[in-house]
Structure 1
């Protein structure tokens, strides 16, 4: 499989250089390959000269003159138009990635063809990068430590690690770290370039991909580390409100309109609730619109240990179409995370990876079990 890594950039010269250094260490399976496509959205900081000096193999550099219609959507569309790979991996210029990053995106896409894969983007703390060392190798010793995790993981821990069962999975598509096959992007016309300023151009794409029938999966191993933490300022929030109004008018759908709940956590002048709490409210409201109201359900429990992966896999395949399943994955590598999220289950299919004893008790209290595979509770 050929991967096209699409990177929009605007005055991010030093940060983009670090990303290109780390992408150069990518390790793919035999027969797989990747190219880089940088869409420079009118930078004035010497980004183009930096890219030329690096002389990176398989890199296409596009310079887009800055206009009043410049946007992240337009930059990404320009890069996608130049891409030659069958899989598009979208990552922002202010991130760094490990050697397995691209391979992890590819691994999930081999599970099914109609998939959107989302990876976490934790924030690094303050500190310096050892650029020369990162040029030679990827090591955490050459960069600041992770200071903040990705809050989307808290949402998944709350409801289920099976992103495909979240009613708001499309809203959680952040193109700082996501991938989808190019055929789906072209079929839908890519990003909507009417989204200007900050926010929701990726959400809109996620919504359209979901409406087109694609599945969504979260791969916790496909990590893009954010080089700096940035809060939402008044200008960004104003852009988001304007783009939300456009998205609501465009789709005329109640699930799109109730995204206004998220605004309660984003207004820097009047932040009423936390972002995770806003997502919790949004998910419950979206489920109500789908008719997934709370009803008494008993689940068949499948506990996966390192030595029972094959048997648990067979159990999921056999029962997934007819039973409501609760999967507790105790393997270190989250062996069944991909399979669970890529299954077309008719009922509920919940997934939790290595929950603590207290969390496990909470899960069983919330989701009662009628029977269990292997008799493990």
Structure 2
């Protein structure tokens, strides 16, 4: 099986680290494709990588679609530029795919460069920690995801109308599941996520934007998410935001695997509040109900 690793990057400072980790895999990739911008010249250290220069910044969905459309492999292995894969990462994905899966998401180690980055990871990726067992999942994130070419051809690419990098992976993996494919989590296929969100301001902006984009997915697939009818009103989100944030935070920390990260609890609660306010803003603007 020919494997294409696809990395979207907008001048990511961690790109060289990610590329070095891909090159050091116990099972080598047949092809490495980087899509986006590389004004710092990080790709000079990886002459074997194929670079698709978009000329201007594009959203993550567009970059991934371009990479998959250009790839020559049978298996597309999507990796974000701020993710550092473990040496057996590719082999773990390929092994699970060889066992019959067609869509495999890997685990995310929750360490961060500082308190804000780690807390952001806890809030964002608590469902995909390596301590959780393998098995089917409702959604999978695209920062560490392998899909067969046939999946891309049958389900189509990611929705490029989502700005930035938020919620388009939830939308895509729901459409993949609806196309008849199982979404499988393999914790042994692990990456360390090193986000650039290292300040309070960075984290706040990320979670407002995530709420703004994700509510559109929750309304688009209301039956699958069990989205309450009141969630179509901005006032509902604003009024209930403290209760929603408390309930979600309590659910996260009910998982014993998250107990080592108890110091992040205040930030996790705060990010869920911001998510609710971002959802309200999207409803006010009409973005949440776009098809």
Q: Do they superpose with TM above 0.5? A: yes
Query: Which of 103, 106, 111 is the equivalent residue of 1:124?
Result: 111
- Which is bigger in relative contact order (C-alpha 8 A, separation at least 6)? 2
Structure 1 residues not aligned, in runs of 5+: 128-144, 282-377
Structure 2 counterpart SS, 1:186: helix
Question: Following TM superposition, by how much is the alpha carbon of 1:176 offset from its aligned partner in structure 2, in angstroms?
Answer: 1.1
Match of 1:255 among 224, 229, 252: 224
Task: Name 2:85's counterpart in structure 1.
Answer: 97
Q: 1:195, CA displacement in angstroms? A: 1.2
Partner of 1:292: none
CA-CA distance at 1:246 after TM superposition: 3.1
**Corresponding residue for residue 50 of structure 1:** 42
Contact 1:85/1:182 (<8 A) preserved: yes
**Count of aligned residue pairs for this structure pair:** 235
> Does the alignment pair 1:163 with 2:135?
yes
**Aligned position for 2:163:** 196
Structure 1 residues 156 and 10 mapped into 2: Cα distance closer, same or farther (>3 Å)?
same
**Is the CA contact 2:5–2:29 (under 8 Å) kept in the aligned structure 1?**
no
RMSD: 3.4
Distance change (3 Å), C-alpha of 1:33 and 1:94? closer
TM-score scaled to structure 2, two decimals? 0.69
Q: Deviations over 1:105-161 (max 9, x none)?
A: 000001115x3211111133438xxxxxxxxxxxxxxxxx9xx7752156985xxx3
CA distance in 1, matches of 2:247, 2:178: 28
> Secondary structure in 2 aligned to 1:9?
strand
Structure 1 Cα separation of the partners of residues 75 and 227 of structure 2: 32
Distance 1:226 1:237, change over 3 A: closer
Q: Which residue of 1 aligns with 2:246?
A: 273
Q: Does 1:61 align with 2:51?
A: yes
Other structure's SS at 1:89 match: strand
- Alpha-carbon deviation of 1:98? 2.3
Deviation at 1:178, TM superposition (A): 1.1
Aligned to 2:73: 85
CA distance in 2, matches of 1:71, 1:50: 20
Distance 2:39 2:4 in 1: 24
Matched, 1:112 2:112: no
Counterpart of 1:15 in structure 2 is 14
